[in-house]
Every structure is written in C-alpha cells, then in structure tokens.
Structure 1
Amino acid sequence: MRPYTRIFSTMTVDGRIASRTGYSRLSCEEDFTLQHSLRAWSDIVVVGSRTALADDPRLTVRRVPGRSPMRGVVDSRLRVPPTARMFTRPGGVLITVEGHGEERLRPYRERGVEIIQAGRGRVDLVQAWRLLYERLGVRRVMVEGGGGLNLGLLEKGLVDEVWVTVAPYVFGSGVSVFEGRGFDGLVEKGELRLLDVKVLCGGWVSLRYEVLRPRLPLDV
C-alpha cells in the first residue's frame, strides 16, 4: 500500500525551479495560495534535503483555512539539522536510510521527530512511502521538490499527479523541476495527461497533470 502523491512546483518557462545562483522566488500571490491549499489537502508535505537546506521552509498552512500537515524531508546523510524550522513544531518526519547510530538520531527524537528508515546508502523510496502509509497513516502526500526527489519518485512510479505553475521567466540554466539521469526517451519516459489549465496573476499558468506511467497501483 502507498499514499496518493502529488508533486507541486513552480518553474520558469525553460523548466527551472532555481537559477544557477540558487534564486528560486518564482511564485505570484495566487500561486502561493494554491500551494497552501494543496498543503491543507495533504497529510504530509515532503521535500528533499537540498531544498530544506537552501530554503529552511516551514511547510505549514497559512494562506487558507485548514490544518497544517506533517512535514517530512528525505535526507540519507542527515544533513538537515534537528533545529530546522520544519522540526520546530510537532509533526516533523525524517526519512533516511538504515544504519545511522542512535547517537546521531537522538537529537531528532528529542525534538519529537518521527524517523522513517528505508534502504541502505540511499533512501528506498518505495519502502519509505509504504512505511508512511503503514506507520503514520499517511494517505495523501504533497511533494515540493527539489528536482532530484521529484524525478526519483516519478521513476519509481510513486507519483499520481504533477501540478506545475509556469512563471513568465527564463533562467537558461539551474535546477530542473525533474533533475537527474532520467529516462532515455526511446523505450522509457514519463507520460502525463493534462487535466486542467488556469491562468494565475495574469501571467503565470497552472498546469495539472495525471501521471499515466510509470505509476504503481495504490494497493501494492
């Protein structure tokens, strides 16, 4: 069993979520509101370690009515400190690998952080998503990047929807919304079906896609 998973990201016209210098302020006001409404829909919001370190996000719901979800980070090397803002209130979740000694994990436990361990050397995302479902009762996940986590989840068939807002900017280089070795495009590719299009703030475009493949069943 695994939770239903949405990726949400805001990118430039050329598909970048951050410039080569790390600049990533791309959302307009309506896009921020959409982001917070999707957080309120979720049981947990998950980011990668690079995103957590670069932005130190709170991952809470503030712009719309609704409860704040749990807040998780995928961090195999424990680079995100237990003092990160996402861990300052109950509901923090650290998704990491097996093999970390209790001494390294204790500072997180002392702050009330739930620890999910899956895989050796690298987080086994399929196992981690199953543990989120079984141990924490997570049924709906929102992923807010970065690009490496987005692609990793898509490659494993763990993504059900992709919500991207296209901002009217071009960077030419930087971090892609899906970052990594990727599909070869010949015999394998990520295939999506467009569900909805909305114009935000007069110039931003929100695109909602359903993932057709690769996509694991929810009841595996």
Structure 2
Amino acid sequence: MDSLAAADETEFPLARWAALLERHRLCAPRGFDPACTLSQIFEPLLGTAPLVIGQLGQSLDGRIATRTGHSHYINGAAALTHLHCLRALVDGVLVGAGTVIADDPLLTVRHVPGGQPARIVLDPNGRVPNSARLWHTPGRRIALQRGSIPRPEGVESLALPGAPGEPIAPGDILALLRKAGITRVLVEGGATTLSHFLAAGVLDRLHLLIGPLIIGSGLTGLTLPPIDHLDGAIRPVTRSYPLCGGDIVIDCAFSGRDE
C-alpha cells in the first residue's frame, strides 16, 4: 500500500517518486502498478504537453482562510508534499501578484526530489516588490507585466497584451508562456487567479486539497461567474485520493485525458 493512501504511514515513498520522475523525463506515462496511489494521482500528468493544472487547498466547507486571512495551516504536511510533486512535474509555476505580496513564497521544489520549475508572477501593475524572495532564487524567474518595470538581475520580463487596466485573458497568458518555452504550467494561486483560469476553460486538471476542518466563515476558494441553472455548472470527471493526516485530493479532469 502506498504511503499516500495509508493513514498509519508517514514516510513519503521516495523510490516510487524517483521512478515516476524518470518516466516523466522519458515522457512514457504507462506501465505503473494501477494499485499504486502515487501513480494514479500523478501518472495522468506525464508525457502531456501542453498541460495546465491548477491546485487549491481549502477546508471541507470551501474556505481558504479565516475572515482575518489566517490560513496556516488548512492542509497538512502530506498536502504540502503533494504540491511540491506537482511543481516538480511542470515547466513553470504561476501565481498572481497578491499571492506573492501576502505570502512571499519561494515556489521551489524542496520536499521531494525533482527539477526546479520557472517561477512566474502575473503582475500587470508592478505591485510585487523587487525584494520578494522568489526573484532571488536560482533558476528561471519570469515577470508577466505591462510597461517597463525594472526587475532584479536575471528576471525575465514578458510583456502582457492590452492597455493598463484591461482584463487579461488566461489564454493569452498561456500563449505568451508557450512562446517562452513553457508548455506545462501549474497555476498555484491565488484563488482569484485560479478562478479566472477555470472560468476561461483553459485548465486540463484541477487538484483540490481538502483539509479535515470546517472554518464556517472567511475567504472562499473558487469564485466563478454566476449561473441560474445547474445545466451551466462545470462537471469534471473526478477521482479522490486520501493523504496521510486526513487531507483528501480531488482530481478534476476537464479535457478528457482521464483514461
């Protein structure tokens, strides 16, 4: 039994992860034991490009923070490991400016072996300070922005289309990234950025990490345009997987690649 599915195990299965990483390198996503939870969760992501996957951690009642913004920690250690696995399987990790300002994340792979993705910040108005930690990590760093905003040495600046104040279509963002060689993207946050990508219909998959708690009020996760009838609801193909510590992964497939 894989430790991701066993409540009484705490060690991450590094040997299986290493084997899965090798399959990712070879772009050969078949051949794993179907009983292995690790493979069931991540194997559909291998050998596929372009790929856009979103992830969101939330409570049982769909909250991502209390009313004061406190969110540490809705999800447990296994969910954090899961997130780092996702980072290791993509070319770039995309977050909005608000996430960087609020959390000052590194967006690197640290909890599992694997390559380092590009760190990408959607910052059309130049709100993210140059002191942000991710600008000063090794590897590729990209600012998606409008105008000539100076960035620290080594940070790439990609010009977003449109005039200041105009909305930015997620499809245009992805096209810009693909021209820069980034074809496998993890949209990690925040909830507003992820919601825009989901509403635009550009996500291939979404991993919802559900923590075993009920907050009752506070900031909600996904927020989409309103619908009047359930016929208009998004209906992905879903599978769920338990993690150690009580968290649950709900894997949502939107593009028919759930075979």
Amino acid at match of 1:115: S
Three-state SS of the structure 1 residue aligned to 2:185 is strand
| TM-score, structure 2 normalization | 0.73
Q: Is 1:147 the counterpart of 2:195 in the alignment?
A: no
Amino acid at match of 1:18: A
The correspondence of residues 34-49 of structure 1 with structure 2, limited to 5 A, is 34-49=82-97
1:117-170 per-position Cα deviation (integer Å, ceiling 9, x unaligned): 223223332111101001x21111111111111111111111110101110112
Three-state SS of the structure 2 residue aligned to 1:165 is strand
Unmatched tracts of structure 2, length 5 or more: 1-48
Q: CA deviation at 1:191?
A: 2.3
Instruction: Tell me which of 123, 134, 137 is aligned to 1:86.
Output: 134
Q: Is 1:114 the counterpart of 2:163 in the alignment?
A: no
Instruction: Work out the CA distance in 1 between the residues paired with 2:113 and 2:65.
Output: 29
1:61-92 per-position Cα deviation (integer Å, ceiling 9, x unaligned): 00111111001111222111122111112311
**Higher share of residues assigned strand:** 1
Distance 1:185 1:36, change over 3 A: farther
Unmatched tracts of structure 1, length 5 or more: 214-220
Amino acid at match of 1:23: H
- Which protein has the larger Cα radius of gyration, Structure 1 or Structure 2? 2
What root-mean-square deviation, in Å, do the aligned CA atoms of Structure 1 and Structure 2 show?
1.9
Q: Is 1:31 the counterpart of 2:76 in the alignment?
A: no
* C-alpha contact 1:82 1:111 (8 A) present in aligned 2: no
* C-alpha contact 2:107 2:134 (8 A) present in aligned 1: yes
Q: Which moved more, 1:198-207 or 1:64-73?
A: 198-207
Q: Is 1:22 the counterpart of 2:38 in the alignment?
A: no
Larger relative contact order (C-alpha < 8 A, sep ≥ 6)?
A: 1
Aligned length: 202
